[in-house]
Amino acid sequence: MKPEFIQCDFCKTNIKLDKCEFAAYRTTIDGKEYVFCCAHCAKQYKEQRKKKTKK
């Protein structure tokens, strides 16, 4: 059975899969594809990852 929702990798908002495939913001970070609900969450996630890797 195919899932109905995917979650934003940053804020965990549910994104309905039966909507347009462009309803989710997808980007590749370090060779892995991530799905976000918007460009803002993608930016926040990238910044968060940078902070973790600097420690």
- pLDDT value for 45: 92
Report residue 19 as tokens. Answer: 């909507």
Residue 33 belongs to domain spanning: 5-54
- pLDDT value for 44: 93
- Higher pLDDT pick, 30 / 18: 30
- pLDDT value for 32: 92
Domain count, the chain: 1
Beta carbons of 25 and 36 less than 8 angstroms apart: yes
* Cα four-point dihedral sign 33, 26, 30, 13: negative
Q: What's the whole-number mean pLDDT along residues 6-29?
A: 80
